[in-house]
Structure 1
Amino acid sequence: MNFQPLLHLRRHATTLKLKPVHTLRTLVRSVASKPQLTQITDNVQRGNYSTLNEKDVAYFEQLLGKSQVLTDDLEGYNTCFLKRIYGNSKLVLKPGSTAEVSAILRHCNERKLAVCPQGGNTGLVGGSVPICDEIVLSMQRLNKVISVDEVTGIAVVEAGCILENFDQRAREVGLTVPIDLGAKASCHIGGNVSTNAGGVRVVRYGNLHGSVLGVEAVLANGQVLDLMSDFKKDNTGYHMKHLFIGSEGTLGVVTKLAMLCPHTSKAVNVAFLGLNSFEDVLKTFVSAKRNLGEILSSCELIDERALNTALDQFKFLNSPISGYPFYMLIETLGSNSMHDEEKMNEFIQEGMSKGEIQDGTITAEPGKVQELWKIREMVPLGLIEKSFCFKYDISLPLRDFYNIVNVMRERCGPLATVVCGYGHLGDSNLHLNISCEKFNDKIYKCVEPFVYEYTAKLKGSISAEHGIGFLKKDYLKYSKNAVAISWMRDMKNMFDPNGILNPYKMLN
């Protein structure tokens, strides 16, 4: 499917030429200098944990082998993705099996040594890095795709498998992993599950609570909890697997999971549209749901400032259209290309005839589809490439989805260099970004806790898909009432009575 003249969409002869894209971690490490220890800057009181000693190190070396016990050059493990959190861990352990994870946690629990589970370390709330001197439990070696069943659509995979590698293996038998993130080349599927990551296709496949059929998790005392399942319908007692989806390593360490993977679609269409107002964005979204129906897979919003920042930072990107306050990226996945193209054409033609869609481009060519998605994926990186950025991942009612961006522009004024919004319109998940030349207390107090108070007044969620981690732990009260938080603490104490699993996060 080429660009459609019958819709009067603008033709573009220039093909986007993409340079090799660095991994997310590489790009972020170039942004800022090494921060001070978070324990000091945030006045964190170290928990009543034991101190690592030579006997502990010797035990781990005997268990894992010396090459998998790291004591030097640990900066990458101590630094969060956004370089806002910096821990002081002296030891990184890299187990290669569930049995080794079990032995590590059993020893740490008996010795009362705090542990920080870590996957690809691409999180945005400081949930995967130590705050004080916790032992880092790296899942990098638990990276196997154990099985992918073409008939049932069920895949079994270890927690440390990189999401993109998992998806490539699934595609070999005609399946696809139902979660897609900009960090897919670096993030681990276990980390995705542990944070209940969302991504760009929640509108099609739903959250991970529906896709994950079972998990294997190691508890703080080393006990292995086998909650694996090969069935979507398993109505036997409590669904304990759900406790670990989104628990951010505070209840146990996920080591393996079973996931239901849909079949890959034969027909993929992507439209990149320009619109004059957020009112037109909402009308276009309603039209997309009505006219595209079962084939609608993604509905993304990017405002002009977010797009222009990415284009300024990454010269290899070229937007096919420009000059509009809002842009939408809409994707369809189906099985009949002619049918899907016809539905997409009718949807866009209707929007243009009503004056809701001003301009755009549509394509079904795989290369061009990837180029359009690359624009969306590079937006968050463009905002942190050369400046400090406050990033907020919130769910808001659709009618109020974008208002907070305008409110924060007025509130921050000249303190901010860029205030913009983009995100998953299809599931009400806005990524609010406030950039400044460098972190300073004045703009910090201007932004927090106001963003969370504003979100709470609208009965939104302070975390749509990134979790709570360290950065949001003091704001959980804006989305959960005191009774719910009390029950969460009780569950934490039951699963981890010594509090060794990912301390200083979420609840404490």
Structure 2
Amino acid sequence: MAEELSTKWETPLTSEQNPHIKRGRYSHLTQTDKDVLSRIVEGRACTSGKELADANIDWLRIYRGTSPLLLKPKSTWEVSKILGYCHNRNLAVVPQGGNTSLAGGSVPMFDEVIISLKLMDKIISFNNLSGALVCEAGCTLQSLMDFLDAEGYTMPYRIGPKDTCQIGGNMSTNCGGMHVVRYGSRHAAILGLEVVLADGSILDLVTTMKKDNTGYHLKHLFLGAEGTLGIITKVSLECPVKSPSQHMLFIGVPSFQDVLKIFKKAKYDLGEILSAFEVFDETVMKLINKNLKLPNPLSGESPYYMIIATAGSNRRHDDEKMNAFLSQLEKEGAIQNGFKESRAEAMKHLWSYRERIAVALKREGICYKYDITLPHEKFFDVITELRGVLHPNSPCVVGYGHLAEGDIHLNVIMPQLDKEIQEKVEGFLYPWIQNLRGSISSEHGLGIQRRDEIVYSKSPKGVEVMRKVKLTFDPKGILNPYKVLPSWMDSELTQRNLSKL
């Protein structure tokens, strides 16, 4: 996902796409403000050029802001000074990691000051007995994976844009990735955080201890908050030992009913070594072939493709398990074709089919992404039904994702931005999800895109509690405004904002 891709369209300003969202009554950045903030970061400020333009636009090139200032702090102290000044001056800010958000959560809505954590990329400590890793928020996932690999450990999750996404952003969006079935969500791995609050004060919750039952678990509030409650500057997490025995199955499956049968069987037969269970449809495979020039690794086409990965400690035992599992699937006719792989480089290549799907889809056109959680048996029904709703408009509708958690990445691909089609998609999709008691965001967050749709997954009382939490941590509403909480709350934040001036 780090790949730079040329596009055939000019992204309109987010404010133009969403005229119902009005700029809050924040102060406008003056030259004096720029001078003061630039001095804090000692020349690591950007007020023009490509770097600032890139920071104003999201990876999907759907959302674009007009921030006149990008700041690149190197320490928690500098973040603290920046927020302290912005809080006093009533300046809105947006924290930014690798800017790989797929819901518009990491770019400005209007002219918010961008605070990039990219230069805060130090590994602070690692305990090779407990597996506790402490690092700064700007460390990329790939850099941490490389470091841990050399120590005989591994990261407890894996996501596509690993070479550019940053650990602070990963925590802020609580993205799950491909190994949740084995290691659990971010909440399972997190040991502690350091967070700079809206007024510039530093909340030190860093610990390397796994057990701590002293009061409220405040660290969990910041996971999934998308920078609206504070800016994460340090992360402490528990990392598992790297499994010496890793295997992968790449298989083609004739029907979704067979996919479900295989999933159930994998939980029983592979049990303790099951690490990942990924699925995508035939349209996705064709776009991978077309836009990434990666040929189908199987001898024939199938309606569905699956990657099943295992991680264990006994190679012979695990190899026998995988061979028996594959043989049984072939005997039962549950798969059309497939193979097992255990060579490290070959598995890395096969993972690229899954990890680079987002790049393949983006090269096809504008991609509206919907990251949703559904009951397993309804996993691909949403695609069939949505294709029927959109006919005869006939945009490309595809899906892929983490079946083990019921997390499907639904994509609607069009040659250009089309607000009418987007509204038609969402008018069908969100009530459909709510009826199944699913989630409108599995791991991508709400950002700008889904903030007003939170009511489809949270009760009115739940949203009200979130509002109170936001007002407690950020009473002026300067932290990543226009994200997560619904737009009707903006006016209240603005009024409280004015009362503090």
Which of residues 129, 138, 145 is equivalent to 1:167? 145
**Does 1:40 pair with 2:16?**
yes
Counterpart contact for 1:416–1:434, Cα < 8 Å: no
Distance 1:57 1:437 in 2: 39
**Does 1:405 pair with 2:383?**
yes
Pairs within 5 Å for 1:152-301: 152-301=130-279
Deviation string, structure 1 residues 137-171 (Cα, Å, up to 9, x no partner): 00011111111211110000100111100111111
AA aligned to 2:6 is: S
Deviation string, structure 1 residues 358-393 (Cα, Å, up to 9, x no partner): 210111011111111111112221111131122110
Deviation string, structure 1 residues 467-488 (Cα, Å, up to 9, x no partner): 0000000100000010010110
Partner SS state of residue 277, structure 2: strand
**Offset at 1:317?**
4.2
AA aligned to 2:15 is: Q
Counterpart contact for 2:190–2:238, Cα < 8 Å: yes
Deviation string, structure 1 residues 232-262 (Cα, Å, up to 9, x no partner): 1111100000000110000000000101000
Distance 1:417 1:492 in 2: 38
**Offset at 1:416?**
3.1
**Does 1:364 pair with 2:353?**
no
Partner SS state of residue 286, structure 1: helix
Q: Mean alpha-carbon deviation: is it higher for 73-82 or for 352-361? A: 352-361
Deviation string, structure 1 residues 396-418 (Cα, Å, up to 9, x no partner): 00011110010011111242342
Distance 2:420 2:38 in 1: 47
Q: In the alignment, what sits opposite 2:36?
A: 59
Q: In the alignment, what sits opposite 2:475?
A: 497
Pairs within 5 Å for 1:466-477: 466-477=444-455
**Offset at 1:444?**
1.7
Partner SS state of residue 298, structure 1: strand
Partner SS state of residue 254, structure 1: strand
Distance 2:140 2:423 in 1: 37
Partner SS state of residue 269, structure 1: strand
**Does 1:93 pair with 2:91?**
no
Distance 1:341 1:253 in 2: 44
Partner SS state of residue 102, structure 1: helix
Deviation string, structure 1 residues 167-220 (Cα, Å, up to 9, x no partner): 111111111111111100110000000000110000000000010100000000
Partner SS state of residue 284, structure 2: helix
**Does 1:128 pair with 2:106?**
yes
In the TM superposition, structure 1's runs of 4+ consecutive aligned residues that sit over 6 Å from their partners are none
Partner SS state of residue 448, structure 1: helix
Q: In the alignment, what sits opposite 2:331?
A: 353
Counterpart contact for 1:468–1:506, Cα < 8 Å: yes
Q: Mean alpha-carbon deviation: is it higher for 275-284 or for 415-424? A: 415-424
AA aligned to 2:74 is: G
AA aligned to 1:436 is: M
TM-score by length of 1: 0.93
Q: In the alignment, what sits opposite 2:45?
A: 69
AA aligned to 1:41 is: Q
Q: CA RMSD in A?
A: 1.1
Counterpart contact for 2:2–2:163, Cα < 8 Å: no
AA aligned to 2:317 is: H
Distance 1:479 1:311 in 2: 36
Counterpart contact for 2:38–2:71, Cα < 8 Å: no
Counterpart contact for 1:32–1:83, Cα < 8 Å: no
Which of residues 363, 374, 390 is equivalent to 1:385? 363
Change (3 A) 1:321 1:489: farther
Partner SS state of residue 75, structure 1: helix
Q: Mean alpha-carbon deviation: is it higher for 210-219 or for 31-40? A: 31-40
Q: In the alignment, what sits opposite 1:30?
A: 6
Q: In the alignment, what sits opposite 1:13?
A: none
AA aligned to 1:276 is: P
Change (3 A) 1:343 1:210: same
Deviation string, structure 1 residues 37-92 (Cα, Å, up to 9, x no partner): 111221121001001111111111222112x0110111100001111100000000
Q: In the alignment, what sits opposite 1:16?
A: none
Question: How many residues matched?
Answer: 483
Query: Percent identity between the aligned chains?
Result: 43
Distance 1:131 1:34 in 2: 17
Distance 1:440 1:120 in 2: 27
Distance 1:318 1:279 in 2: 22
Q: In the alignment, what sits opposite 2:301?
A: 323
Distance 2:144 2:155 in 1: 7
Distance 1:346 1:444 in 2: 46
Q: For structure 1, which runs of at least 5 residues remain unmatched after alignment? A: 1-23
Q: For structure 2, which runs of at least 5 residues remain unmatched after alignment? A: 488-501
Distance 2:91 2:299 in 1: 55
Counterpart contact for 1:274–1:321, Cα < 8 Å: no
Distance 2:31 2:171 in 1: 34
Partner SS state of residue 237, structure 2: strand
**Does 1:453 pair with 2:437?**
no
Partner SS state of residue 242, structure 1: helix
Counterpart contact for 1:416–1:435, Cα < 8 Å: no
TM-score by length of 2: 0.95
Distance 1:274 1:475 in 2: 36
**Does 1:464 pair with 2:464?**
no
Counterpart contact for 2:9–2:416, Cα < 8 Å: no
Counterpart contact for 2:364–2:413, Cα < 8 Å: no
Distance 1:439 1:46 in 2: 23
**Offset at 1:34?**
2.8
Counterpart contact for 2:300–2:337, Cα < 8 Å: no
Distance 1:327 1:316 in 2: 14
Distance 1:476 1:386 in 2: 29
Distance 2:233 2:419 in 1: 39
Deviation string, structure 1 residues 285-333 (Cα, Å, up to 9, x no partner): 0010100000000000011011111111111444334311011100000
Which of residues 120, 124, 147 is equivalent to 2:125? 147
**Offset at 1:451?**
1.1
AA aligned to 2:308 is: I
Distance 1:506 1:35 in 2: 22
